[in-house]
Structure 1
Amino acid sequence: MNLKKCFIVFSVLMISHIGFSQEALRDFFQAGQQNAEILTKAYLRPYGEMLGTALNAGWYNSAKVHKFGGFDLTVSVMNAVAPASAKTFDVNSLGMEGVNVSGDGIAPTIAGEMDTRPSISPDGTGDFVSFELPNGSGNDKLPIPMVQAAVGLPFNTEIMARVVPSMDFGDAGEVSVLGFGVKHSLKNYIPFVKRVPFLQMSVLAGYTKFDSSYGIESSEQVTVTDGELGISSGAFTTRLLLGANFPVVAIYTGMGYGSTNSDFDVKGTYYVKDLSEELDPFSLNYKTSGFDFNAGLRLRLGFLAIHADYTVGDYSVLTAGVGINIR
């Protein structure tokens, strides 16, 4: 399988979360404008949070900084995994108005799946259609493929750029990613690290921008005009890196702080037939921030480097990749 086909496979898996949610987004409009926004935000939350977490991973496979003129070109996949707590949500805790909820009120998010799901109905004060809440995808993983390049500059510094070229999958959607980062060696500033040849220490900062969109089509209950879900996410991370570099094997760890900001724009107009009412689009925002830690291993076979690492946080991330590494 060539590189382009690999990217297509992983990108389709990445946007399958949102593609699966098309039915859910339409159904939620049957609960009325305000309740539709509340339900949609709870349902899509794992995707919004996994997305930002995955974008902050995969920036490095060594704590060492390239020498001047050295470079690497790496293809990686960052696979975020949702915790069990992100696979369901409690409808009763959302603060919706005019709603009766059947059963215990526990419903699946887009990352979960349930055979039996609660229904919502008007309590006499609300004006909307009774319906069963939609199922999730049953997929708690979000892989993001990435091509990244780094080049060494003077003063023990290297700059990095990462990209997923814009790809259009027709009705499935489209996606693009672009990011920039910088890494600076601390080895010469710390006497103990400076005296031990194989020890490496550096600091890194990186920012990644993700954009995606896909169309939302009509159903028997909801007529959609110009429907689209647009997603824009920005992820920023700063990290302290520590590692040991040997001729074939490099061990590395990183700890730091990351923040993400993701906007989900539900566009178009939505006419609910049973209500004889046209509802407006809306926007949702997801923010995450916090500290995390990762550890990894890189094998270098000549110019070829293979790496894998695991990030521990609210959403864990497994990263693996292969690339060309010189100096």
Structure 2
Amino acid sequence: MKKLFLLIGVVMLFSANSFAQTDITELLKAGQKDANTLAQPYLKPFGEMLGKGLNNGWYTSAKPHKLLGFDLTFTASYIKAPSSALSFDVSQLELSEFEHVPTSSAIAPTVAGDIDDLPKLRLKDDITGLSEFDMPNGTGMDFLPIPMISAGVGLPYGFEIKGRFIPKVEIGDAGKLNLWGLGLQKDIKDYIPGVKHVPVLNVSVLAAYTKFASELQVDDPNFDGHLDISANGLTTRLLIGANLPVVAFYTGLGYGKSSSDFDLLGVYRPTATSDPISLAYSTTGFDMNVGMRIRLGVIALHADYTLGDYSSITAGLGISFR
């Protein structure tokens, strides 16, 4: 289990570092206020993908476990950013001291995009061009993989308690992270007239919360510090499905919300600025997914697809009993 936690930690830190180790500190050339204004749309797709991804992988069936039944499941989600999240218009931002150089392109990549012709910025009163600098490019990575390990145990009265947990994992100089989450699923089939006697149909409700925190090192000789990334996700779902002897089908429709925070903590040496960037993102909305689980004895495999502004595919393998 320790090796599995380490593997999950390596994948999540690698994913976060892929976005965090861009040239975001280059934005500090525009001063602290303008740097935050520029960084807000630049990091937005990463913040939203991370928050959305934390709400995935909570269930593989619409039927809660029977009393003392349990499962231990490893899942991996692949969250995709929409094309609209890959770029933004620098000229539309309200900057204080800097401005877009009109002879350059106005379309800048977000951290998930990749553009060859980058916009240039300069001080508003600079006619010499000495203050000009290019916007940082993106990673070209318009997706985010999020692995997870979850467990569920059946309780009396049709309840099932679910949990996910990654103890603090440190990966050398790359950084460290931890994660935890709790969820509760309740069978409501017996409360629906005309449905409770349908043999293979299952109906339940779910509420689940996940909290993620990480600290990443920043590879920039001009910055002495680190990047803190934290996120949480809350999802509520109505689950409907059919459980057959080997195959189970399920769909979930519900409301989710997430938030994520990025704090660049430390000192930017050229201007002696402390803790220069602090950003916050949030998402809310309805989405739905459809999926299938196959059980071979106590071994269970599942896969599902979530529809939404940030679509995702989740697949996993685990053991399941009762």
- TM-score, with length taken from structure 2: 0.93
State the Cα deviation string for residues 163-185 of structure 1 (Å, max 9, x = none).
23322123322222100000000
Structure-2 separation of matches of 1:285 and 1:201? 36
Offset of residue 8 of structure 1: 5.0
Q: 1:139 to 1:323 in 2, by over 3 A?
A: same
Identical columns (%)? 47
Partner of 1:42: 41
Structure-2 separation of matches of 1:5 and 1:287? 28
Asked if 1:312 corresponds to 2:307, the answer is: yes
| 8 Å contact from structure 2 (residues 91, 99) kept in 1 | no
Partner of 1:73: 72
Find the partner of 2:272 among 278, 287, 293: 278
Find the partner of 2:141 among 139, 142, 146: 139
| 8 Å contact from structure 1 (residues 14, 142) kept in 2 | yes
One-letter amino acid of the counterpart of residue 51, structure 1: L
Aligned pairs (5 A) from 1:112-123: 112-123=113-124
Structure-1 separation of matches of 2:136 and 2:263? 20
Offset of residue 5 of structure 1: 6.6
- The alignment covers a number of residue pairs equal to 316
Partner of 1:188: 190
Offset of residue 12 of structure 1: 4.1
Aligned pairs (5 A) from 1:206-221: 206-219=208-221
State the Cα deviation string for residues 52-83 of structure 1 (Å, max 9, x = none).
10001110010001111100000001221111
| 8 Å contact from structure 2 (residues 17, 216) kept in 1 | no
| 8 Å contact from structure 1 (residues 13, 143) kept in 2 | no
Partner of 2:179: 177
Asked if 1:99 corresponds to 2:99, the answer is: yes
- TM-score, with length taken from structure 1: 0.92
One-letter amino acid of the counterpart of residue 121, structure 1: R
Helix, strand or coil at the partner of 1:180: strand
Structure-2 separation of matches of 1:31 and 1:128? 13
Structure-1 separation of matches of 2:290 and 2:223? 47
Asked if 1:153 corresponds to 2:155, the answer is: yes
Offset of residue 128 of structure 1: 8.8
Structure-2 separation of matches of 1:309 and 1:177? 22
Find the partner of 1:268 among 266, 269, 272: 266
Helix, strand or coil at the partner of 1:211: strand
| 8 Å contact from structure 1 (residues 15, 172) kept in 2 | no
One-letter amino acid of the counterpart of residue 33, structure 1: Q
Structure-1 separation of matches of 2:195 and 2:153? 23
One-letter amino acid of the counterpart of residue 62, structure 1: S
| 8 Å contact from structure 2 (residues 105, 117) kept in 1 | no
Offset of residue 94 of structure 1: 1.6
State the Cα deviation string for residues 181-201 of structure 1 (Å, max 9, x = none).
000001111122211110000
State the Cα deviation string for residues 11-64 of structure 1 (Å, max 9, x = none).
24422333432xx22101001111111111111111100001000111001000
Structure-1 separation of matches of 2:269 and 2:38? 18
Structure-2 separation of matches of 1:271 and 1:14? 27
| 8 Å contact from structure 1 (residues 17, 47) kept in 2 | no
Structure-2 separation of matches of 1:234 and 1:178? 10
Asked if 1:322 corresponds to 2:317, the answer is: yes
One-letter amino acid of the counterpart of residue 138, structure 1: G
Structure-2 separation of matches of 1:8 and 1:236? 21
One-letter amino acid of the counterpart of residue 99, structure 1: E
Partner of 2:288: 293
Offset of residue 262 of structure 1: 1.1
Partner of 1:302: 297
Offset of residue 155 of structure 1: 0.6
Helix, strand or coil at the partner of 1:194: coil
